[in-house]
Amino acid sequence: MTHPLLPISLAVCLAATSFGPLQAQDLETLSRAVNPGLGRVIVHQDGGLALGSGFVIDALDDDKYLFVTNAHVVEGKARSIEVGFLLPTEQNREALVVLEGTILAISPHQDLALLRLSRSDGGQAEGPKPLPLRATPAVQGAPVAAFGFPGIADRQSPTMERDLFRSSLTSGVVSRTMETPDWGIDRSQFPVQIIQHDASINAGNSGGPLVDMCGAVVGVNTSLMHADAGREIYQAASSAEVLRFLQKEGFAVEPDLSDCSGLSLGGGMLAPVVVGVLVASAFLLGAFGVFVSRKGWPRMLAGKPIIAVSVTGPEGRSRLLQFDRRALSRGITVGRSSRCSVVVSDPKVSARHLELRLENGGLYLCDLNSSNGTLIDGNKLVPGRKERVSSKSVVGFGLSHLRVNRLE
């Protein structure tokens, strides 16, 4: 039976999320949220300087930070890397803070790089603020904003050095999302999930965040393509690629699981009173399977994990992922494609190689007509035929293998 409070709470939530088009004050509020995590990258090379953009994803101990940018911004023979931020001070002003950067990891085929920033200025300005990474994919027509430091803006010589670190902002919508193997600085033909959008970017924007109207990063601006009649298409690696890159390199960053459909930081969208109503409604709905996530917006409660999947790639590094009954009943796909539940960077693995599915209390594996086949305990599977697996099974595919373990 439906609880009497449920329709009321749902009606309040639906009424509160009907908003008008993006307004200037919305972008102003968005910029105040994003800019403290946005940095300009300066790479000192023997032949001069390379410039780009990037953003902080995590704050570590001892005034150190994790920072994401494009691989093509920092790759090559860099003598040193600096990242400059304009940050607020206790006096309600702003100060230029420059941090030293060290490359921790690079993915040439995703065109992504992770830096560790170290601060030693001892100033009174606050530290950079991490920007959340959106877990859910961007959808066509969703409003987005691009932040960064396009070099074309420097043609107007600033009177103060700090103005070189003042960001530029453009806005637009998501044109489409797609997978393409034609990506990265090595053109390795690995499929990468990208976002095409119409928020203008230029050289110098590389590595900067593409954000939704809640201030979460949905992509990393990477390139532009020139089309006919002077038109340009702007492209970003999706936040899903960033999360996969970080996971593969062993850096756990909790993604933002909240829903930004119609919600945002600024006036013209969510007034403070409406925010209170939404949060209160979410708590009312908590008794019926909905809860308020760590970031503050409602999302469906995930089930208890019942299966752990350990995947070891060709480089010998293992990952452990856990899945609940609902996900396993729908099917867990494994392959090179970024749309798979488990992504494996293995050139011998197909885009969609195999599937694990829970049926009638048993866990079954099916080879999805892969190019190089799948083995269970050394026995090759017939493509398309389901075979039961247990915690003792070793599943080989490509240059990788996986094991499963029940958690209940």
What angle separates helix 5-16 from helix 272-285, to the nearest 10 degrees?
A: 150
Q: Give which of 130, 209, 118 is closest to 167, Cα–Cα.
A: 209
The per-residue pLDDT for range 313-342, each reduced to its tens digit, is: 887 777 778 888 888 998 999 998 878 888
Over residues 25-48, the mean pLDDT reads: 88
Cβ atoms of 339 and 179 closer than 8 Å? yes
Q: Based on the residue annotation, tell me whether 72 is a catalytic residue of this protein.
A: yes
Lowest pLDDT segment from 17-31, 104-118, 308-322, 387-401: 17-31
Asked if 287 and 298 touch (Cβ cutoff 8 Å), the reply is no
Residue 149: what residue type? F
Q: For residue 253, what are the contacts with CB-CB under 8 A and spacing of at least 6?
A: 57, 58, 66, 133, 243, 246
How far CA 7 is from CA of 14, 15, 291, in Å, comes to 10, 12, 16
CA distance 106 to 76: 11
Distance separating alpha carbons of residues 39 and 74, to the nearest angstrom = 14
Question: Is 111 noted as a catalytic residue in this protein?
Answer: yes
Q: How far apart are CA 135 and CA 255, in angstroms?
A: 5
Q: Which of 206, 281, 337, 350 is catalytic?
A: 206
> Which neighbouring-strand residues pair with 248?
none
Which of residues 12 and 60 earns the better pLDDT score? 60
Q: What is the pLDDT of residues 56-114, one digit of tens each?
A: 999 998 889 999 999 999 987 778 999 999 998 877 788 899 999 999 999 988 999 99
Looking at the chain, the whole-number percentage of residues with pLDDT higher than 90 is 46
Q: How many CB atoms lie within 10 A of CB 208?
A: 34
Extract the tokens encoding 369: 């007509």
pTM higher than 0.85 for the full model? Answer: no
Give percent of the chain above pLDDT 70.
78
First to last CA, the chain: 30
Alpha helices by DSSP H, listed for 198-289, are 239-248, 272-285
Q: Which of 9, 72, 256, 353 is catalytic?
A: 72
The catalytically annotated residue of 107, 109, 111, 345 is 111
Q: How far apart are CA 399 and CA 316, in angstroms?
A: 10
Helix (H, G, I), strand (E, B) or coil at 99: strand
Distance CA 4, CA 11 (A): 12
- pLDDT for the residue 369: 94
Catalytic residue check, 197: no
pLDDT over 50 at 389, yes or no: yes
**Distance (Å, rounded) from C-alpha 366 to C-alpha 374?**
9
* DSSP string computed for 148-216: E--GGGGGS--SSGGGGG--EEEEEEEEEEEEESS-SSS-----EEEEEE-S---TT-TTPEEE-TTS-
CB atoms under 10 Å from CB of 191, counted, come to: 20
